[in-house]
Amino acid sequence: MLRVAICGAGGLGTSHAGNFQQIPEAEVVLVYDPVQEAAAGLAKAVGAQAARDAAELYADDIDVVCVTTPTPYHAEYAIKAAEAGKHILCEKPMARTVEQGQALLEAVERAGVTMMVGHVVRFFPEYARARDLVQSGAIGRVGMVRTSRLNTLPAGSGGWFANYQMSGGVTFDMVIHDFDWLLWTFGPAERVYAVGVPEHMPPLDYSLTTIRFKSGAVAHAEGSWADLGLFRTEFEIAGSGGLIKHDSTRMATLTVQKRGQQEGLAAVQVPESPGKSPYLIEDEHFVECILAGKQPQITPQDAQDALALAAAACESIEAGGKVVHL
């Protein structure tokens, strides 16, 4: 039985705590948050103890530290967990800066513990299926990809999302999901060009990042905190042999159109739809990897690569749209 400590009692801390309750091999035994009332409330809800000091996260009887604090504090808590020999589930992004991410990466390597960063999009069936189709060559050589992730500005404790220096805006906090999936699907990126409006935070932020991959594919990754509708995602993947499309607002959220016998004609569209919670699948995978001594699907280096891509996109935005090479 893995004894889990939750570090950060906000929305994601609550989500992960609920997931661990459903996993027989794990038990949430401790909750820490600088806001004592928040820690006490979540601890009571899951039958755990509320920690009064962060040092309790690293006690001998803790096996896993789940870091769900605001972004700037991810590396601090996770590095201390690694140094204490704890396995780590850290929410994305793994850190606020590339330098912090590298320090965490090195700490995990030195400690030999298991760490996974919560790039949960890999566990959404539409995204996983689309990646499988691309990798199998189902739509031929991919030339263009478009992703879109639209939401309103999240609140967060103390409104920290609205502070660009803390959150990195929509690019760092939300589009990084698509960056990780794009890197996982299409391989290393070569250069980045991005535009955005972080100066309009709060309450608005928007960014559009163009990425050239070493494979030759080009991606356009859009993110918005300026939307007032339901949270939604979309992607299109265009290849020499067909098109894959996803729209979360549709009942059939994934369609695959293949070229038929006659050039240019689409074959039958194949629908896909989600089932089990990807967030629960993510946490189950993490627990399984610890118990089996396996490397998680999302490696620390994967998370660092997504972090570096997000940082490059923000650098491009802050410089007025310069091209940044990776």
Separation between Cα atoms, residue 145 and residue 218, nearest integer Å? 6
Determine the pLDDT at residue 157: 73
Q: What is the pLDDT of residues 177-187, one digit of tens each?
A: 999 999 999 99
Checking 250-257 for CB contacts under 8 A at 24+ apart, the result is 253/126, 254/125, 254/126, 254/129, 254/130, 256/133, 256/138, 256/139
Separation between Cα atoms, residue 25 and residue 27, nearest integer Å? 7
Q: Which domains can be identified in the chain, with CATH numbers?
A: 2-113 (3.40.50.720), 121-279+307-325 (3.30.360.10)
Residue 200: beta bridge partners?
Answer: none
Mean pLDDT, the chain, whole residue set? 93
Q: What is the pLDDT of residues 114-165, one digit of tens each?
A: 999 999 999 999 999 999 999 999 999 999 999 999 998 887 777 899 999 9
Separation between Cα atoms, residue 275 and residue 254, nearest integer Å? 13
Name the nearest CA neighbour of 28 among 300, 287, 308, 235: 287
Separation between Cα atoms, residue 127 and residue 297, nearest integer Å? 14
Determine the pLDDT at residue 260: 57
CA distances from 68 to 6, 47, 52, 168, 226 (A): 7, 19, 17, 16, 24
Q: What is the pLDDT of residues 173-223, one digit of tens each?
A: 999 999 999 999 999 999 999 999 988 887 789 999 999 999 999 999 999
**Cα–chain center distance at 156:** 17
Over 70: is that where the pLDDT of 35 sits? yes
Q: What is the pLDDT of residues 241-256, one digit of tens each?
A: 999 999 998 877 787 8
Q: What is the pLDDT of residues 81-100, one digit of tens each?
A: 999 999 999 999 999 999 99
Separation between Cα atoms, residue 240 and residue 38, nearest integer Å? 52
Determine the pLDDT at residue 265: 37
Task: Please report, as a single letter, which amino acid is at residue 86.
Answer: K
Determine the pLDDT at residue 272: 44
Both tokens assigned to 294 = 């396996």
Over 70: is that where the pLDDT of 304 sits? yes
Determine the pLDDT at residue 170: 96
Over 80: is that where the pLDDT of 278 sits? yes
Determine the pLDDT at residue 227: 85
Separation between Cα atoms, residue 226 and residue 187, nearest integer Å? 30
Query: Which residue stretches of 70-198 are H helix?
Result: 74-83, 98-111, 125-136, 164-167, 169-170, 176-186
